[in-house]
Structure 1
Amino acid sequence: MIKVENEVKLTIAEDETNPFLLDHFESVGKEYTATTESLEVIGEIPKDLNGIYVRNGHNQVHAPMGVYHPFDGDGMLHAVHFEDGKATYRNRFVRTTGFLAEEAAGKSLWSGILEPHLTTRQGWGSMGTMKDNAGTDVIAHGGKLLASMSQCSEINRMDPVTLEMLEPDSWNTTLAPQGICSHFKVDNDTGELMFFNFSETYPYMNYGVVGPDNELKHYVPIDLPGVRWPHDLGVTKNYSILHDLPFIFDPELLEKGQRKVTFFDDIPARFGIIPRHGTNEDVKWFEAKSCFILHLSNCYEDGDNVVMEGCVTFNPGKPEVGKQAGNATDKIKQAMNKTATQYRMYRWTFNMKTGQTQEEFLDDAATEFPVVSNDYVGKKYRYSYNSTLNSDIDKPWYLTGLIKYDLQEGTSQKYDYGEGRLGSEPHIARRTNAVAEDDGYLITLVTDLNENRSECLILDASDFSKGPVARIMLPHRIPTGAHGAWVEEARIKGELV
């Protein structure tokens, strides 16, 4: 069965020239439900692969108001539900409050991240001006999917199987107006969800914990020196790690109402380690080399040490926020070129007794979007699966392949999608009754620009050299996306605690 459940009218002009609305960013309006009985499958879908791979992404509906940034687009989830050797594909828009308002108006009502001064309505996000597009992250918790945007917004819950929008959580109003930011983490052992948010008003950051019953059980302000733009959060068995990084709005200009993101390389990075249910008074701050971090692989405790690993840059780039001068799209391309900014695997070791920080590179290759198995989040682990990147500045956000890091042996293995093919953030689906950490499959969505189609790619997580286990051809070509998640079969209805 291949069924078009709905079609949203796109109002983007046919002569649009913004590269972030064309080619591999080009939006789709149709929402499908399709089963593998009607889709081409190359190879065989494993019968011990049971659960849901879901990927979020920005899929702009209307002609933008002002300069369009690829983080501005409307959120759309693409999900593949695996069960007993078969699969069902669905894609649905995240119908946020902002989405519904623009749907009724038939046009954009909010400007994007780069030109907040154009917005005449109250908005969402850390600046309070954006539409709550919920197009960045997605994770499963409490039997629901939680979709969010990186700049913080309302809580958007969706059914993990049908992708139907659900009623907001009871704690949605408690968090307003800051809401919840992307890169919240779930501890599979406790079922708890740890999150943060940030804004331009005091308190500049809040930290919270949601229980396995989906009730907000902890929410506290965090004392920061001023306005920050953190992106990720680390968790271990007993702690969470908050980021205070010197890639921020210039404070002097911000007082004048100008938002210019500046990297202050003379200011050290700070990492606040807070007990999972601790308060601001319990935070232990560690200093490190001035840097910026988008995404972490994992964090864990090792004796007196808390270890944090992920992709770091010491040369971040970001287009200016506010009235644009020059070619804004070129500035965005430069900022999104992760090979130029050299995001590489890195390790920070924080000694909880001495207060000292040790730092080291784990690899010289430029990679991003690192992921680990859900079962190893917050624990000592062996494998990080990262995406390799295209160095062509005219092909930003172009994930060319995968690299599997064996952090125990110090080795790696690569897989290339092929010329004209780009992937999504992968996720690990461990087999039922899996023994080893990599005993399972690596799943991602790949768009083939040569064939003008997309597919769900399944690889053996233990050995890429075997090639694809299966390729499921999707009913349409999908735009490039942001983050994804794996929902184990046993967790589809809720947390296992």
Structure 2
Amino acid sequence: MTRMAGPDSVCFQGGNQRMSDDQCRLYYYRFSLLPGSNTITHQFSLSSIPFEFPSIRDDVSMGKARYIYGCSVSDSSFGAALGRAVKIDSLVKIDSLALIAKATLDPPTPIVGCVDTRGVPEILASSDPNDPIKIFKLPPGIYAQESQFVARENGESEDDGWILAYVFDESQLDAYGEATSASKSELWVIDAREMREVACKVKLPQRVPYGLHGNWFSEKEILGQRGVESVRSLPVAKGKVMEEKEEGSVWWDAWMGMRRWALDVVG
């Protein structure tokens, strides 16, 4: 959620709108906060490309986020793929503030309008370094999963960091299109600023099935977590409870005697 200029409105970035072609897109809403008002003042799509699994960097999740990361497909749509596995071949970075500024100068048609009407191939062909939409296209036959942005420590900008995603090369499938026990996935680390360079590839010991959601936990968070014994313990055995009585307490002995009798009766 990003607060817009002025006290009378709030802008929500993200979400999917069911449009005429039943497609998932990054959508923009703006609501009036005037007393007694309960209306949507702005609603339109920021981009026409299929867009799913949106995310932003964690430390701006309740502030003025500029960049939104997500997944897309270059030759299909998420709407058409609802009944089958979605094969993601494009990782997307959208400069939402740039597209909102463009919409301010040339407002789209409410509900069905769109700020950037280009498709995935047109965006990939762009050489504009300031293009508000950047796409990392995976090689043919290699597909990704939900991506996660990881910020560089002491980074210089909001997008200074990396996009992490599990990928799988389908050339490992057998003649029946099934993954064998020898199939393996990789974790790709992509430079989030330009969305062009793979900074690192980590080979995994096994295949990660499509559809897995992910999150990032830093080394500091992992080392600082509480030990499992502090939040979870095994139930105490019934016999051990009987033995752990308070020495010298008549009332305790009487209570435990009644408890033994009740347990014997009910089994």
How far off its partner does 1:481 sit?
Answer: 2.1
| Distance verdict in 2 for CA 1:375–1:449, change over 3 Å | same
Task: For 2:44 and 2:140, locate their aligned partners in 1 and report how far apart those are by CA, in whole Å.
Answer: 33
2:50 aligned residue? 366
Contact 1:454 1:473 in 2 (8 A): yes
Task: For 2:13 and 2:204, locate their aligned partners in 1 and report how far apart those are by CA, in whole Å.
Answer: 34
2:39 aligned residue? 356
Task: For 2:136 and 2:142, locate their aligned partners in 1 and report how far apart those are by CA, in whole Å.
Answer: 12
Contact 1:344 1:368 in 2 (8 A): yes
| 1:305 aligned partner, one-letter code | S
% identical equivalent positions: 25
Matched, 1:398 2:82: no
Higher helix share: 2
Stretches of structure 1 lacking an aligned partner (at least 5 in a row): 1-298, 317-339
Identify which of 171, 195, 213 aligns with 1:450: 171
Matched, 1:485 2:174: no
Q: TM-score, normalised by structure 1?
A: 0.33
Q: TM-score, normalised by structure 2?
A: 0.59
Identify which of 466, 473, 479 aligns with 2:203: 473
Task: For 2:89 and 2:168, locate their aligned partners in 1 and report how far apart those are by CA, in whole Å.
Answer: 10
2:134 aligned residue? 413
How far off its partner does 1:301 sit?
Answer: 2.5
Aligned ranges for residues 245-260 of structure 1 at < 5 Å?
none
Identify which of 359, 369, 385 aligns with 2:69: 385
Task: For 2:220 and 2:3, locate their aligned partners in 1 and report how far apart those are by CA, in whole Å.
Answer: 27
Contact 1:346 1:360 in 2 (8 A): yes
Task: For 1:471 and 1:437, locate their aligned partners in 2 and report how far apart those are by CA, in whole Å.
Answer: 23
Task: For 1:385 and 1:306, locate their aligned partners in 2 and report how far apart those are by CA, in whole Å.
Answer: 21
| 1:343 aligned partner, one-letter code | C
Contact 2:85 2:210 in 1 (8 A): no
1:314 aligned residue? 18
Stretches of structure 2 lacking an aligned partner (at least 5 in a row): 100-131, 173-182, 227-267
SS at match of 1:472: strand
SS at match of 1:408: helix
Identify which of 20, 28, 35 aligns with 1:347: 28
| 2:39 aligned partner, one-letter code | Q
How far off its partner does 1:469 sit?
Answer: 0.1
Task: For 2:16 and 2:94, locate their aligned partners in 1 and report how far apart those are by CA, in whole Å.
Answer: 16
The one of the two structures with greater contact order (alpha-carbon pairs below 8 A, sep at least 6) is: 1
How far off its partner does 1:356 sit?
Answer: 2.4
Task: For 1:395 and 1:401, locate their aligned partners in 2 and report how far apart those are by CA, in whole Å.
Answer: 18
Contact 2:13 2:96 in 1 (8 A): no
| 1:408 aligned partner, one-letter code | L
Task: For 1:355 and 1:433, locate their aligned partners in 2 and report how far apart those are by CA, in whole Å.
Answer: 41
Task: For 2:18 and 2:221, locate their aligned partners in 1 and report how far apart those are by CA, in whole Å.
Answer: 38
Task: For 1:464 and 1:471, locate their aligned partners in 2 and report how far apart those are by CA, in whole Å.
Answer: 15
Task: For 2:190 and 2:60, locate their aligned partners in 1 and report how far apart those are by CA, in whole Å.
Answer: 19
| Distance verdict in 2 for CA 1:300–1:310, change over 3 Å | same
How far off its partner does 1:396 sit?
Answer: 2.7
1:462 aligned residue? 193
How far off its partner does 1:395 sit?
Answer: 5.4
| 1:341 aligned partner, one-letter code | D
1:166 aligned residue? none
How far off its partner does 1:315 sit?
Answer: 5.5
| 1:361 aligned partner, one-letter code | S
| Distance verdict in 2 for CA 1:305–1:494, change over 3 Å | farther
How far off its partner does 1:491 sit?
Answer: 3.0
| 1:314 aligned partner, one-letter code | R
| Distance verdict in 2 for CA 1:309–1:482, change over 3 Å | farther
Identify which of 293, 301, 307 aligns with 2:3: 301
Identify which of 143, 160, 182 aligns with 1:422: 143
| 2:45 aligned partner, one-letter code | F
| Distance verdict in 2 for CA 1:312–1:420, change over 3 Å | same
| 1:480 aligned partner, one-letter code | Y
Task: For 2:71 and 2:205, locate their aligned partners in 1 and report how far apart those are by CA, in whole Å.
Answer: 25
| Distance verdict in 2 for CA 1:431–1:398, change over 3 Å | same
Task: For 2:39 and 2:218, locate their aligned partners in 1 and report how far apart those are by CA, in whole Å.
Answer: 38
Contact 2:16 2:27 in 1 (8 A): yes
How far off its partner does 1:379 sit?
Answer: 0.9
| 1:300 aligned partner, one-letter code | T
| 1:420 aligned partner, one-letter code | G
Higher strand share: 1
Contact 1:312 1:343 in 2 (8 A): yes
| 1:471 aligned partner, one-letter code | K
1:78-134: CA deviation from partner (whole Å, max 9, x where unpaired): xxxxxxxxxxxxxxxxxxxxxxxxxxxxxxxxxxxxxxxxxxxxxxxxxxxxxxxxx
| 1:400 aligned partner, one-letter code | D
How far off its partner does 1:347 sit?
Answer: 0.6
1:140-177: CA deviation from partner (whole Å, max 9, x where unpaired): xxxxxxxxxxxxxxxxxxxxxxxxxxxxxxxxxxxxxx
| 2:208 aligned partner, one-letter code | I
* Count of paired positions: 173
Contact 1:370 1:384 in 2 (8 A): yes
1:424-444: CA deviation from partner (whole Å, max 9, x where unpaired): 111111111123111111111
Which structure is larger by alpha-carbon Rg, 1 or 2? 2
Contact 2:17 2:27 in 1 (8 A): no
